[in-house]
A and B are shown apart, each in its own frame.
Chain A
Amino acid sequence: MSRARSPAMRILFLAHNHPHLQPGGTETFAHGLFRALRDRHGAEGLFLAAVTDLLRERKPGTLLQAVGDAPDEMLVSLGTFDRFFLAQGDVYGLAEIAPLVARLRPDIVHLHHPLLFGLEGIDVVRRAVPRGTAMIATLHDYFALCAREGQLLTADGRLCHGPSPDACRRNCFPDRPAIDLTLRNLAIRDAFRAFDRLIAPSRFLRDRFVAAGWEAERITVLPNAVAAAEPAPHREAGPEGRRDCFAVFGNVNRFKGTLVALAASARLSREGVAHRLAVHGGTAYQSEEFMREFAAALAAAPDALHRGPYAAAELSARMRGADWVVVPSIWWENAPLVVLEAFRHRRPVICGDVGGMAELVRDGVDGLHAPVGDPASLAATMRRAAEEPGLWDRLVANIRPPPDHDDAARQHLALYQEVCAQRRRPRGRTVTSTPLREAAIRSPGHVLRARADAARV
């Protein structure tokens, strides 16, 4: 079926949340990228975020509603989601959005997270869009591998290198029948076959997927981005250029390592090292037990202060009081936005020595690594950061500004065009090197024999 080729790329973004409702890293990046593509790079399209009844009531007679004033951003209410199987049970509801998606006739569908849309959502969208439409998914975390909130972190807080049937059952899902893990794995891989390309924001993440058996050629690494902004001015240094103001940004919870940072601060206080640790972020959805631990940790760290949640616009102001940004996460992280924010505001980062954190922050270049999850080592690193003369300045000088949304938009557009072209090529052969081809290139006379050899294989 032919249609007039419009120069603008038509994109459909699918996200599991909208930053106006609840700002998380994935949806913030996805939304920023979309707006850049739409507003400054000539793309057309729709940003469709899934939402639950928790955040928005349904409107009568429709699953859809607007979010704010933007004409190209919408919400769709979906419930009954099974986080373990990434299963969206509301197949009738999904079928309702199919016409909307079909009418759009996008060139690209870009899924930013399988939550809420679920594997069934992927199927619905694949069926609804034209055959020539390419589908791309960004792997913002390890959800497709790991049923524990996609963190590859065991129930008792240890790093996990990848799924294995025995380890998954033993460490994290002793009550789940083994069959469930197999089903989850099979279903996710099967559904994700619908994507022409997967984007990994870090090499580390891609490596985890490849180690788990996903095809490396299907995964392209494109970095995350944070909005362009004027860096917050540095604070005045202490005596002899002492830089001892540390800040942690992000949701306060166990896997973000807030307690580790507080324990490190407590240790520094006991050792008499002058410093300040500001904890920026809210404590929503945390258990009572965690809240008790958090309160106790704060009480034990006299130089630490909980400054509470902040809106995106307030980040710059909060950065002003910090020399260093500490990322004490106890999980691998992927491409944490907080690191990019810190670099945007020219603050060096102290983070764990593993995973996506360690990839973004170069130890001794634009930040410092500390053994992950270890308050004593973190304290030692923080002490060095506070006391080593000139360290801070050297690190700051090496900070490279992170990509902004326009950079990301350009990179993504290039990828979209590549993937679209690939998809519209005649089906069958992607160009790979085979013995037959090589034989033909070398010497046409040997083609016949090479062909016969190939047939016997």
Chain B
Amino acid sequence: MLDHRQTEAEPPQGAPAAALALPRDGAPATAATEHRLAQLGEAGLLLLELQATGPLPRDGTTTLVVGGAPLAPPTASLTLGPADAPRLVFAARSRAGALAPGTPCEVRKGGETIAAFRLDLPIPAEALLLAGRAPAERYTLLRFLVGTCAPALRATTDPGLAAVCHALARAAVARGAEAGAARALSRPDAAFSAWAVPHAPDGAWYLLTRGSVRRIEAPVAGILLLDGAPPPGALLLPPAPARPLPFAPQTSGGGTTSRLPTVATLLRTGISGTSAAGRRVLTAFTARAARDPRCAALLREAQLLAPARPQRLDDPTHPLGGALELALSDREGGVFLCGWVRDPLGLLAGLELRGPLGAIPLPPDALHRVPRPDLEERFARAAFGRAGPTPGFVAHLPDADRSGVAQWRLGLRLRSGEAIELAAAPALLPPVQARDLVLRSVHPKAVTPALLDNCLGPAAARLHRAALRAIAGTPEVVAIGRRSPSSTRHSPRASLIVPLYRNMRFLRFQVCAFGRDSQTRGADLVFVLDSPEQRSDVEHLLRGLSAMLDLPMTLVVMPANGGYAAACNAGAAAAHPAAATLVFLNSDVLPAAPGWLGRLLGRLARDRRLAAVGPKLLFDDGSVQHAGLFFRRAGDGEWFNDHYAKGFPRTHPAAARARRVPGVTGAALCVRRSAFEAAGGFCTDYIVGDFEDSDLCLRLRALGHEIAYEPSAELFHFERQSIATHEGHARTLAGAYNRRLHHLRWGEAIAALMTRFPAA
């Protein structure tokens, strides 16, 4: 009967009444317990085996008292042999110097003293454990040492214990017909090695090396994953009653380790389905990836490097069609899906989303169905039927992706029980690209507020946040030109901030115009480049113009495209500290004549309640483009921005009156710096650019300020030249998204505001 027990801390029992005469002066004890003692290594582990003369008490902890003092826990004990004459194996940590031969000892259990003796000289551990024992008992001792002593006595790295365990294990390895081994599947890498192991019952696995006894993760699907290669001579100890296993470096075919694939290669073959062993290794990695970031990283890398070819089922002659066109990580634990399914004969029982960790069902209410006009033509004359009115689907599963899946698959489960699997394109794209794909996934005509609020919006918002986070680094501030020494105490009243994106068509006209107007010459000029790939051309041009006009300016280079708000905020941050007013100008705005800046600043100066003013803006032919910004309801009840007098003649009275207005356009926005900063600058939640100006105006109003229109300042605005070239806006729902966000945020405030201002 095997009996492992660990003793807990316990006060010593009273001395039993046992007729034991303690020997004196080193003379061997008469009637002393037969015992053997071994010491393991330098750390003071001791093993004691003693022969009991009668049955041992069933209950109670076992305590060894050495020289009158019991050894402190933790300790461990094992009972071997027949019940009427059992042997007790006892393990403990001893005090230094306590094991001098001749020291009187007692063993107590359950209140009884079951043994008393004077210590003999210790014998080698291997002699104690191995010599003269039946293999079964040796195996039992091995289990005791590895499973109980090592962890209990915190001796897993004790070389003495390790050595003796290793020796026991070596002795217990099966040979001949029953021989088993862990067979290498991979070339031992720095990070991982994969081994095929025979089946074993559930339980703890151990790795026994000459220096340590370590518990390791159990294998999955018969594959054992080890950190790196096992040290030479290491042995595996599967759960009882399996025997220890050696590591067999050769393949089953007898090849050498250098011909084996690496773990990464195995994973890729597993993913692409070209190797059974690879599939098993993949399963093992997947199971471990949830807990081990290194596994997860290796897994993701393998997926990225060996993506399965995307598959579509779009042959019109088939009765079933489908594709998972997008399965994008939203960078915050969710996944966005876009695809289509054509099932004219009703063959599908359901859809599911398949990833490495399993399948996620996609019931009908999880999917938003949308029309797909691009499929109409393809399936117009399909034998089994057309694609239907809403073959497309989009979905956002906010929590489906905890581990950063690199590639998802769509499972089409048929009523017959079979399933077809279609792979999607890789899930991990740069967040800006992914965001734009989300916003391009549905035709603008098919977008409903519900779709925006519940599906496209949350996914786009998460990716937009990721995109903003991805603008790693701070903008670079480049000083261009120098002020002449006579103007060292240059204290500009205003800072002109111009965000630039891609279209530099008007830049030289703008700079030359600023250079010829004494008022703008005295201002602080800041250009913000939001398309940093053009940096060298733009810097070259600005340096030339600056020298030609003797006009210093600042160029701020964004680390990556961040959109209007981020660029303007960066410009504001780089503005001259003395500038009390910020003037934001689009790159396609050009003064109609000098003196406009003074008129805007003058208006602000005359009315303390104003936080912002805006000028009259003209189309290229002189008709009015902006005479103040107001809000209008669209057909669906949402608010959108409009300008007073848009399209009216330049001198029409409607555009001639300086007055308070709900807001002014960001194309030419003159704002007190203190108010701008108190409002937090431009809001970066909008995608690409749109509504940031009205959002700021509404925030300024919420802080109690007023906003005015100043028609004596006139500039041309060659409208929409810059936003039309931004791919993230021109063909996508970014505008709809921004409008919805703006409406949800400000709808009530706007309704109240528009009761005080005319509607047109």
Q: A residues within 8 Å of B by Cβ?
A: 87, 91-92, 94-95, 98, 119-120, 123-124, 127, 165, 178-179, 181-183, 186-187, 190-191, 193-194
Q: Which residue of B lies closest to A120 (CB)?
A: B548
Q: Which residue of B lies closest to A126 (CB)?
A: B516
Contacting pair A123 B621 (CB below 8 A): no
**Is B544 positioned at the interface, with any CB of A under 8 Å from its CB?**
yes
Contacting pair A119 B512 (CB below 8 A): yes
Contacting pair B512 A182 (CB below 8 A): no
Provide a sorted-by-A list of 13 A–B residue pairs whose CB atoms are within 8 angstroms.
Answer: A87-B508, A120-B548, A123-B548, A123-B549, A124-B548, A127-B549, A127-B550, A178-B621, A182-B622, A182-B716, A187-B512, A190-B594, A191-B512
B-side contacts of A183, CB under 8 Å: 506, 509, 590, 620
Partner of A91, one of B506, B516, B548, B593: B548
Q: Which residue of B lies closest to A194 (CB)?
A: B516
- Assuming the A-B contacts A120-B548, A190-B512, A194-B516, are A165 and B621 also in contact, with contact meaning beta carbons closer than 8 angstroms in the complex? yes
- Assuming the A-B contacts A92-B544, A94-B548, A183-B590, are A123 and B508 also in contact, with contact meaning beta carbons closer than 8 angstroms in the complex? no
Contacting pair B718 A95 (CB below 8 A): no
Partner of A186, one of B515, B550, B716: B716
A-side contacts of B718, CB under 8 Å: 179, 182
A-side contacts of B544, CB under 8 Å: 91-92, 95
| Alpha-carbon distance A214/B214, docked complex (angstroms) | 94
Interface string of B620-663 (1 = CB under 8 A from A): 11100000000000000000000000000000000000000000
Contacting pair A191 B506 (CB below 8 A): no
| Alpha-carbon distance A120/B592, docked complex (angstroms) | 18
Contacting pair B716 A127 (CB below 8 A): no
Contacting pair A178 B516 (CB below 8 A): no
Interface string of B499-520 (1 = CB under 8 A from A): 0000000101100110110000
| Alpha-carbon distance A181/B619, docked complex (angstroms) | 12
Contacting pair B512 A123 (CB below 8 A): yes
**Is B545 positioned at the interface, with any CB of A under 8 Å from its CB?**
yes
The secondary-structure label for the interface of chain A is helix
B-side contacts of A92, CB under 8 Å: 544, 547
A-side contacts of B593, CB under 8 Å: 190
| Alpha-carbon distance A149/B478, docked complex (angstroms) | 41
B-side contacts of A190, CB under 8 Å: 512-513, 516, 591, 593-594
Q: Which residue of B lies closest to A128 (CB)?
A: B550
Would you give the shortest CB distance from B103 to chain A, in whole angstroms? Answer: 98
| Alpha-carbon distance A165/B650, docked complex (angstroms) | 15
B-side contacts of A87, CB under 8 Å: 508
Contacting pair B620 A91 (CB below 8 A): no
B506, B621, B622 — most chain A CB neighbours (10 Å): B621
| Alpha-carbon distance A198/B361, docked complex (angstroms) | 80
Q: B residues within 8 Å of A by Cβ?
A: 506, 508-509, 512-513, 515-516, 541, 544-545, 547-550, 590-594, 620-622, 716, 718
A-side contacts of B622, CB under 8 Å: 165, 182
| Alpha-carbon distance A186/B547, docked complex (angstroms) | 22
Partner of B620, one of A94, A124, A178, A193: A178
| Alpha-carbon distance A199/B592, docked complex (angstroms) | 24
Contacting pair A127 B548 (CB below 8 A): yes
B-side contacts of A124, CB under 8 Å: 548
Top 5 A-B residue pairs of the complex, sorted by shortest distance between their CB atoms: A91-B544, A182-B620, A179-B620, A91-B548, A95-B547
| Alpha-carbon distance A191/B514, docked complex (angstroms) | 11
A92, A127, A190 — most chain B CB neighbours (10 Å): A190
Contacting pair B621 A193 (CB below 8 A): no
B-side contacts of A98, CB under 8 Å: 548
Would you give the shortest CB distance from B552 to chain A, in whole angstroms? Answer: 13
A165, A179, A181, A194 — most chain B CB neighbours (10 Å): A179
- Assuming the A-B contacts A191-B516, A194-B516, are A182 and B621 also in contact, with contact meaning beta carbons closer than 8 angstroms in the complex? yes
Contacting pair B621 A186 (CB below 8 A): no
| Alpha-carbon distance A91/B515, docked complex (angstroms) | 14
| Alpha-carbon distance A178/B718, docked complex (angstroms) | 10
| Alpha-carbon distance A332/B594, docked complex (angstroms) | 33
| Alpha-carbon distance A187/B545, docked complex (angstroms) | 15
Would you give the shortest CB distance from A119 to chain B, in whole angstroms? Answer: 7
Q: Which residue of A lies closest to B588 (CB)?
A: A179
Partner of A95, one of B509, B516, B541, B548: B548
Contacting pair B592 A186 (CB below 8 A): yes
Would you give the shortest CB distance from B713 to chain A, in whole angstroms? Answer: 15
Contacting pair B515 A123 (CB below 8 A): yes
Would you give the shortest CB distance from A195 to chain B, in whole angstroms? Answer: 12
A-side contacts of B515, CB under 8 Å: 123
Would you give the shortest CB distance from A196 to chain B, in whole angstroms? Answer: 14
| Alpha-carbon distance A98/B621, docked complex (angstroms) | 35
| Alpha-carbon distance A98/B590, docked complex (angstroms) | 26
Q: Which residue of A lies closest to B545 (CB)?
A: A91
A-side contacts of B591, CB under 8 Å: 190
A-side contacts of B509, CB under 8 Å: 183, 186-187
Would you give the shortest CB distance from A435 to chain B, in whole angstroms? Answer: 22
Would you give the shortest CB distance from A215 to chain B, in whole angstroms? Answer: 12
A-side contacts of B545, CB under 8 Å: 91
| Alpha-carbon distance A127/B546, docked complex (angstroms) | 11
| Alpha-carbon distance A127/B620, docked complex (angstroms) | 29
B-side contacts of A182, CB under 8 Å: 620-622, 716, 718
| Alpha-carbon distance A348/B735, docked complex (angstroms) | 71
B-side contacts of A165, CB under 8 Å: 620-622
| Alpha-carbon distance A123/B544, docked complex (angstroms) | 13
Contacting pair A193 B594 (CB below 8 A): yes
| Alpha-carbon distance A142/B189, docked complex (angstroms) | 80
| Alpha-carbon distance A178/B622, docked complex (angstroms) | 11
- Assuming the A-B contacts A95-B548, A186-B509, A193-B594, are A123 and B516 also in contact, with contact meaning beta carbons closer than 8 angstroms in the complex? yes
A-side contacts of B506, CB under 8 Å: 183
| Alpha-carbon distance A124/B506, docked complex (angstroms) | 19
| Alpha-carbon distance A165/B621, docked complex (angstroms) | 7
A-side contacts of B592, CB under 8 Å: 186
Known A-B contacts: A182-B622, A191-B512. Give 12 more (CB < 8 A).
A91-B544, A95-B547, A119-B512, A120-B512, A123-B512, A123-B516, A127-B548, A181-B620, A182-B620, A183-B620, A186-B590, A190-B512
Would you give the shortest CB distance from A174 to chain B, in whole angstroms? Answer: 16
| Alpha-carbon distance A183/B619, docked complex (angstroms) | 11
| Alpha-carbon distance A194/B515, docked complex (angstroms) | 11
Would you give the shortest CB distance from B116 to chain A, in whole angstroms? Answer: 105
Would you give the shortest CB distance from A144 to chain B, in whole angstroms? Answer: 16
| Alpha-carbon distance A300/B566, docked complex (angstroms) | 72
| Alpha-carbon distance A98/B548, docked complex (angstroms) | 8
Would you give the shortest CB distance from A91 to chain B, in whole angstroms? Answer: 4
A91, A98, A186 — most chain B CB neighbours (10 Å): A91
Q: Which residue of B lies closest to A179 (CB)?
A: B620
Would you give the shortest CB distance from A326 to chain B, in whole angstroms? Answer: 41
| Alpha-carbon distance A187/B507, docked complex (angstroms) | 12
Would you give the shortest CB distance from B719 to chain A, in whole angstroms? Answer: 10
| Alpha-carbon distance A94/B509, docked complex (angstroms) | 16
Q: Which residue of B lies closest to A89 (CB)?
A: B508
| Alpha-carbon distance A234/B515, docked complex (angstroms) | 57
Would you give the shortest CB distance from B196 to chain A, in whole angstroms? Answer: 71
| Alpha-carbon distance A179/B719, docked complex (angstroms) | 10
Would you give the shortest CB distance from A125 to chain B, in whole angstroms? Answer: 10
A-side contacts of B594, CB under 8 Å: 190, 193
| Alpha-carbon distance A329/B742, docked complex (angstroms) | 63
| Alpha-carbon distance A92/B545, docked complex (angstroms) | 8
Would you give the shortest CB distance from A92 to chain B, in whole angstroms? Answer: 5
| Alpha-carbon distance A186/B716, docked complex (angstroms) | 10
B-side contacts of A191, CB under 8 Å: 512, 516
| Alpha-carbon distance A167/B548, docked complex (angstroms) | 35
| Alpha-carbon distance A409/B290, docked complex (angstroms) | 93
Q: Which residue of A lies closest to B551 (CB)?
A: A127
B-side contacts of A194, CB under 8 Å: 516
B516, B545, B592 — most chain A CB neighbours (10 Å): B516
A-side contacts of B513, CB under 8 Å: 186-187, 190
| Alpha-carbon distance A144/B198, docked complex (angstroms) | 93
| Alpha-carbon distance A95/B591, docked complex (angstroms) | 24
Would you give the shortest CB distance from B262 to chain A, in whole angstroms? Answer: 56
